[in-house]
A = this chain, B = another copy of it.
C-alpha cells in the first residue's frame, strides 16, 4: 500500500515570515493526516519549516536533496535522497508528489510550479502574491488552485490524492 506523498515547495533563504508559519502548519497537517511530507530537504526556509512541522506531529519526512553534501540537510528529514543533480532535482520533487503545494514564491519554487504544470499535475498556491497567481493561472487555468490558508491548501490536497 503506497503512502500518499504531499510535496511542499517553497523558498529557502528568501522565505518570508508568513511562508515559514504556513509551511510549519502544512507539515503538521500533512503528518496528522497520515501522509508523507516531501520537500527539497535543505535546512532553510520553507523546506525546513515544513519538515519541522511534520516532525512535531510525528510525521514521516523525505528530503530530495540537490547536492551530495551532508551539512545543509534539515534536521527533521527522516529519509534523505541524494540526487547530486542540483536544481534538476526539482522535477523529481513534483513527479513524486501526489499533490504539490507551493508555499511562497522564489525562482526555485517557480520552477517547481512550472515543472508540475508541464507534467500535467495540479498545483496549490499558498501565497499572497497576485502576480504569481495570475501568471500561473494563465498557464493552466484549471490546474492552478488557490489557497488562503494552510488548512485550505490541505483541504484541496485531500481532493487530489
Residues on A lying within 8 angstroms of B by beta carbon are 1-3, 5, 36, 62, 64, 68, 73, 77-92, 95-96, 105-108, 110-111, 113-115, 117-119, 129, 131-132, 134-135, 138-140
Contacts and interface: CB of A to CB of B under 8 A. Distances in A.
Copies assembled: 4
Contacts of A108: 114, 118
Given A36-B79, A81-B81, A134-B135, 12 more contacts: A2-B78, A2-B80, A80-B96, A83-B85, A88-B91, A90-B91, A106-B139, A107-B117, A107-B140, A108-B118, A111-B115, A129-B138
Contacts of A1: 78
A85 B88 contact: yes
